[in-house]
Amino acid sequence: MPATTYRFVPYAKKHFTSCVDLIMSTWNFHSSFMDVPCNRVIYEYYLKTCLNWNHHHDVVVDEHEQVIGVLFGSKEETSFIEELKFSRKDRLNNKWKNNKIQRGDFGNKEVARKELSRFTMNDALGEEDASLFGGEVNLFIVSQIFRGQGLGRQLMDRYIDFCQSNNLKSVFLWTDEDCNHSFYSRYWFSLYRRFNTYTHYEVKSPTENGMIFSLQVC
């Protein structure tokens, strides 16, 4: 049975492991990799990239301090100092990734490089219009066990409060058809546009399976 008590807290390093567990239980990022000794490394890298370039790091923990929900969001306008800090973290994440590829932790090296590049290329497609918005929802998950209890709405409410406090007038996010995106319409997000994601390295989907949603912040 789901826990009856939970708390909203800022993300801390101690939450890394259970955040990875949550992502692994929600999405299937590893299926296109080959000969990976442990799939967890793929999700660890994904979380590392999501932690960067964000200003709002909100998690929900249960009574055992396990993460059952997460929302990371950004301000699109950043200071010069923030740009330097985020860029440095990007370099560290890339160094970590490249070392893991060389060691074989991501499995077949050629396949791993292509798949990780595909992640990056899709992210670039989803953020082509980022400059038109004040903020972005970069990672948003609620454990399947705890859905239907209002946690997603509370997480989004807290991010919108952050946006209002920082005078952000609009926010966006991108997702694809594989994700459960019905929540966004219920929260009054509008479909801004569709686009063709990369389903394989340098090969785009024949259909517009990517979606960008936007919301005006009152």
Residue range 192-209, pLDDT digits in tens: 999 999 999 999 999 999
Residue range 160-193, pLDDT digits in tens: 999 999 999 999 999 998 887 889 999 999 999 9
* Residue 157: domain span: 6-168
Measuring CA to CA, which residue among 156, 206, 155, 216 is closest to residue 177? 206
Residue 185 lies in a domain: no
Q: Determine whether 130 is exposed, middle or buried from the number of CB atoms within 10 Å of its CB (0-12, 13-18, 19+).
A: middle
Question: 215 by DSSP, 3-state: which?
Answer: strand
User: What is the sign, positive or negative, of the torsion defined by CA atoms of 216, 141, 194, 201?
Assistant: positive
CATH of the domain at 146: 3.40.630.30
Count of domains in the chain?
1
Residue 99 lies in a domain: yes
Cβ atoms 45, 97 nearer than 8 A: yes
Residue 82 lies in a domain: yes
Element (H, E) at 126: helix 109-126
| pTM score | 0.94
